């Protein structure tokens, strides 16, 4: 296949049309060109960038691309990703195949290292990961009440369990530190979120010094009065239940579910852990955020 005129030398000076990988294009130059493609969505670009950073570290920015053969890449791959989850391993393997296919179309035929790297089976039966773009849109939906958007933000950003977040009281909030106290089995846990969510929580809890953080829309009927700990002393409304929160989330996410039944609150947590793992977080970092009791349960997410 003939190369195109976009081939460049390691110095960045455009090479004449007809130049090939033998002309000396560098690993850095090829990787940067690959990532400048306009057809890559943000999630794909993020993944590809991680793989390209590894290639550049492994083989050196100034190394001529022709020296980065399929055999050498395949031999180096396990040392970098052998301890990663199957999904992470497969993701970087796929990025390599995309890169070498792209390079071959420009006359830089490096072979196919992915053909020498075995794809790993991924666990089945786990919750489906929500796309980052879908999560971002969901958290800003104008047709959803602020209470629900704020709850979803805390659930996603903290990667904490829904039961833990729904049990929070107003006086558990430490807004200056973007976190809240949550006790589980007598052990203090912190639920953490991003600074932008603190403003929303401040508005949600305005005028309420204590009592449940997330409340029902209406006061409970006298015959169904909850425990005093689950009742707001200011508004008279009750703590939002898990069942109600789950129903509202399912209803709002029917368009994101292939079966049209809606998504689960657990998918927010699962998606956050997956996204952070894709960004390179270790199992220990994920555990510190999410409050999991066993670090082994986070190994499938770690990048």
**Minimal CA–CA distance to 182: which of 172, 192, 174, 195?**
172
Same domain for 103 and 146: no
Could you tell me the pLDDT band of residue 293, with boundaries at 50, 70 and 90? confident
What mean pLDDT do residues 260-282 have? Answer: 90
Residue-wise pLDDT tens digits, 23-66: 579 999 999 999 998 777 676 788 889 899 999 999 999 999 98
**Minimal CA–CA distance to 193: which of 299, 291, 50?**
291
Judge whether 262 and 249 are in contact, CB under 8 Å.
yes
Q: So what's the pLDDT on residue 22?
A: 42
**pLDDT at residue 302 tops 60:** yes
Domain residues for the domain of 90 are 21-116
CATH number at residue 249: 1.10.443.10
Judge whether 54 and 92 are in contact, CB under 8 Å.
yes
CB under 8 A, 24+ apart: contacts of 176-183: 180/213, 182/291
Beta strand extents in 173-245 (DSSP E only): 173-174, 179-184, 187-192
Same domain for 69 and 176: no
Which of the residue ranges 25-29, 154-158, 231-235, 291-295 would you say has the lowest mean pLDDT? 291-295
Same domain for 268 and 139: yes
Could you tell me the pLDDT band of residue 260, with boundaries at 50, 70 and 90? confident
Is 45 within the bounds of a domain? yes
Same domain for 292 and 160: yes
Helices 86-104 and 70-81, axial angle in degrees (round to 10): 160
Same domain for 141 and 92: no
Starting at the earlier edge strand, list the strands of the sheet with 187-192: 173-174, 179-184, 187-192
Same domain for 191 and 84: no
- By three-state DSSP, how is residue 188 classified? strand
Same domain for 289 and 157: yes
Q: Are strands 187-192 and 173-174 parallel, antiparallel or unpaired?
A: unpaired
Could you tell me the pLDDT band of residue 121, with boundaries at 50, 70 and 90? confident
Is 13 within the bounds of a domain? no
Q: Using CA atoms, how far apart are residues 297 and 303, in angstroms rounded to an integer?
A: 14
CATH number at residue 97: 1.10.150.130
**pLDDT at residue 3 tops 50:** no
Could you tell me the pLDDT band of residue 158, with boundaries at 50, 70 and 90? very high
Mean pLDDT over the full length of the chain? 85
Residue-wise pLDDT tens digits, 126-138: 568 899 999 999 9
Same domain for 171 and 65: no
Is 123 within the bounds of a domain? no
H-helix or E-strand containing 34? helix 27-35
Same domain for 159 and 290: yes
> Greater confidence, 296 or 63?
63
Same domain for 108 and 246: no
- Residue 14 is classified by DSSP as B
CA 163 to chain centre: 21
End-to-end CA distance of the chain: 36
Is 69 within the bounds of a domain? yes
Number of domains in the chain: 2
Tracing tokens 């050196």 back to the chain, one arrives at 60
Q: Using CA atoms, how far apart are residues 246 and 269, in angstroms rounded to an integer?
A: 13
- Residue 131 is classified by DSSP as P
Alpha-carbon dihedral 175, 176, 177, 178, rounded to 10 degrees: 40
Is 9 within the bounds of a domain? no
Note the helical H segments in 159-296: 162-166, 195-204, 242-252, 265-278, 283-290
Residue-wise pLDDT tens digits, 77-100: 999 988 887 878 888 898 898 898
Same domain for 88 and 198: no
φ/ψ of residue 211, rounded to 5: 95, 175
């Amino acid at each position: 296949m003939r190369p195109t005129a976009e081939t460049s030398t390691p110095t960045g000076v455009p090479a004449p049309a007809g130049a090939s990988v033998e002309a000396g294009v560098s690993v850095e130059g090829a990787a940067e060109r690959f990532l400048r493609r306009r057809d890559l969505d943000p999630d794909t670009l993020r993944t590809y960038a991680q793989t390209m950073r590894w290639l550049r570290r492994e083989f050196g920015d100034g190394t001529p691309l022709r020296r980065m053969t399929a055999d050498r890449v395949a031999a180096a791959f396990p040392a970098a990703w052998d301890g990663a989850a199957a999904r992470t391993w497969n993701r970087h393997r796929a990025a390599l195949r995309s890169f070498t296919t792209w390079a071959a179309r420009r006359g830089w035929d490096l072979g196919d290292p992915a053909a020498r790297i075995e794809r790993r089976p991924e666990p089945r039966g786990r919750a489906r990961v929500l796309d980052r773009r879908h999560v971002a849109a969901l958290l800003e939906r104008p047709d959803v009440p602020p209470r629900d958007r704020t709850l979803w933000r805390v659930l996603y950003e903290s990667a904490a369990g829904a039961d833990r977040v729904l049990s929070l009281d107003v006086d558990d909030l430490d807004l200056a530190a973007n976190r809240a106290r949550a006790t589980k089995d007598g052990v203090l846990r912190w639920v953490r979120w991003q600074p932008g969510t603190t403003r929303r929580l401040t508005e949600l809890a305005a005028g309420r010094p204590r009592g449940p953080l997330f409340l029902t829309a209406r006061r409970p009927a006298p015959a169904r009065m909850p425990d005093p700990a689950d009742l707001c002393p200011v508004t008279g409304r009750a703590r939002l239940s898990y069942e109600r929160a789950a129903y509202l989330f399912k209803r709002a996410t029917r368009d994101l579910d292939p079966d049209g039944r809606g998504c689960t609150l657990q998918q927010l947590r699962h998606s956050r852990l997956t996204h952070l793992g894709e960004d390179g977080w270790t199992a220990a970092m994920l555990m510190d955020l999410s409050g999991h009791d066993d670090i082994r349960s986070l190994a499938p997410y770690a990048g």
